[in-house]
Structure 1
Amino acid sequence: MLSVCIPVYNVDVSSLVKDLIGQAHELSINIQVLIYDDGSSETFKLINRSISNLKEVDYKELKVNHGSAAIRNKMAADALHNNLLFIDSDSDIQKDYLQKYLPFLSKNKMIVYGGRIHPSKLPSKDKSLRWKVGKCKEDFSVSIRRKVPNKSFMSNNFLAKKQLFDRIKFDDTIERSGHEDTIFGIELEKQGITIIHIDNPVTHIGLESNQEFIQKTEQRLETLKLIEQKYGDNKLLYERITILKYYKKIEQLKLHFIISRLFVKFKKHMALSLLKQNPSMFIYDMYKLGYYSLLSK
């Protein structure tokens, strides 16, 4: 009845998988758990191999890194059941997590997003940037998410019908992580499919260090540049992605070259500021705008 798809990269998923299987047994749900390792270190492979003997688990180690879009498409293609539940491997679930998705298992042609939250307290000082970005820019209540449902979608925690997913899929030409979920939401909207939002968030516990997150932010912006080149004629792209909307404005005002020069001059100072325990979201946004202007130059 339910295929749970968990792409893995350097995360111990044993606890998450056992929780999911336990909840499925309590609800009498026939569950398949696909765990596809996308190039983790041997340390994490050894840990996750320990649950590969569970009868509900389909564990695979991929020979080459597929990326977040392609691996999800592959897992969906391999799944046995019509209900697909995608969960990020660095997630912690609530005790009634599967129960909240249960009413939707018998419905057709829909995508249901449960949401994401971050720990209520800062886990450690060296993760302050990722934690604050999550709290300020990702932890939205279901009532807020429902206002613009297809914009508020993220791929970390959602239920989809296999037949519908096979028709849309993620754009696997996006080889690195970054806004593939935005494109997915736009494609659904183009086909008249509105994403359903419910209050069933997972807690994002796999926070990167500040330095790692700055590097990941730059990588995501590089991916965004490729997406803009491919989908730039779609007006929804500029409505859905805030950084693109503001970049378009400064480009129209012929200010993007000035912004890029200022970014080169102050990049180190801004980066140091973002490493602090309480980083400024304004500086973070200016860092992104500056970096994207530099890429566009």
Structure 2
Amino acid sequence: MLSVCIPVFNYNITPLVHKLMYQAKENNLDVEILIMDDGSEDRYKNTNRKLLSIPEVKYIELKKNLGSAAIRNRLAREATHNQILFLDSDSDIADDFIATYIPCLSADLSIIYGGRVHPKHLPSADKSLRWKVGKAKEDHSAALRSRVPNKSFMSNNFLVKKELFKTVRFDETIQRSGHEDTMFGMELEKKGIQIIHIDNPVVHIGLESNEEFIRKTEQRLETLKFLTKRNKDKKLMEKRIRILKYHYLLHKYKLSGLYKSLFRVFGKRLEKCLYAKNPSMLVYDMYKLGYYNNLD
């Protein structure tokens, strides 16, 4: 009745799978757990391969890294059941996680997003930036996310019917991680498909170090630049992606050149501030705008 699809890269997914299986059996739910490894290191593969002993688990190792968008499309093709639940591998779930989704399986709803939250307390000082960004920009209730439903979509925890997914898939031209969620939400919006938000969040426990997250942020900005160059619907992108609004204003008021010069001088200092135990979200946004603007 339910296919749980989990892309994994360099993460031990065993605890999550055991929790999912326990909850499925507790709720008498027919479930398959489909895990696809996207080129992890051997130590993670060796650990996750042990899950093959569970009859309901299908574990696949890819020979070539596909990336965040393409691997989700392939997982959906491999799924046996009509209802697909996508989860990120670095997630933890509440005891009633599966039970909360069960009423949605029979409802005539298109896409349901459960949400994401971050640990209540900072796990370690070297992960302060990812934790702070998550708390400030992602830990939102269903009521708040529903104000602009398609903008608030993330692919870490959502339920979708397989027939619908065939009509709106992730953009496989996005080969590196970054904004595949944004573009998917926009495609749904253009087709008139609204995302339903509920309060059934996973806890994001796989936080990157400050250094890793800054580099990943830069990668996402490079992907965004690629997408804006080839996307015809720039107005919707500017409407849905805040950094593009500010970038547009820099050009409108002829401040782009000045901001480029300032970022070249002060960019490293801004980055250094992001390693603080309590990094400023304003500085983070300034850094992102400066990095993106310099990609011109």
| TM-score, length of structure 1 as denominator length | 0.98
CA RMSD of aligned residues (A): 0.9
SS in structure 1 opposite 2:51?
A: coil
Q: Per-residue CA shift, 1:68-113, capped at 9, x if unaligned?
A: 0000000001100000000000000000001111111113450000
Is 1:196 matched with 2:196? yes
* Aligned residue identity for 1:84: I
Gaps of at least 5 residues in structure 2 are: none
SS in structure 1 opposite 2:106?
A: coil
Question: Partner of 1:187 in structure 2?
Answer: 187
Question: Partner of 2:85 in structure 1?
Answer: 85
* Aligned residue identity for 1:273: C
Question: Partner of 1:104 in structure 2?
Answer: 104
Identity in percent: 58
Is 1:211 matched with 2:205? no
Question: Partner of 2:13 in structure 1?
Answer: 13
Structure 1 segments, 4+ long, off by >3 Å, are none
SS in structure 1 opposite 2:5?
A: strand
* Aligned residue identity for 2:261: R
| TM-score, length of structure 2 as denominator length | 0.98
Question: Partner of 2:29 in structure 1?
Answer: 29
Q: Per-residue CA shift, 1:122-144, capped at 9, x if unaligned?
A: 00000000000000011111110
Question: Partner of 1:269 in structure 2?
Answer: 269
Mark the CA change 1:290 to 1:238 in structure 2 (over 3 Å): closer, same or farther.
same
Q: Following the alignment from structure 1 to structure 2, what is the Cα–Cα distance between the partners of residues 232 and 221?
A: 18
Contact 1:2 1:83 in 2 (8 A): yes
Is 1:292 matched with 2:292? yes
Is 1:280 matched with 2:292? no
Deviates more, 1:264-273 or 1:218-227: 264-273
Contact 2:228 2:234 in 1 (8 A): no
Contact 1:109 1:164 in 2 (8 A): no
Number of paired residues? 296
Q: Following the alignment from structure 2 to structure 1, what is the Cα–Cα distance between the partners of residues 231 and 96?
A: 39
Alignment of 1:1-297 (within 5 A): 1-108=1-108, 110-296=110-296
Contact 1:91 1:203 in 2 (8 A): yes
Contact 1:108 1:161 in 2 (8 A): no
* Aligned residue identity for 1:196: I
* Aligned residue identity for 2:75: M
How far off its partner does 1:232 sit? 4.5
How far off its partner does 1:234 sit? 3.7
Gaps of at least 5 residues in structure 1 are: none
* Aligned residue identity for 1:12: N
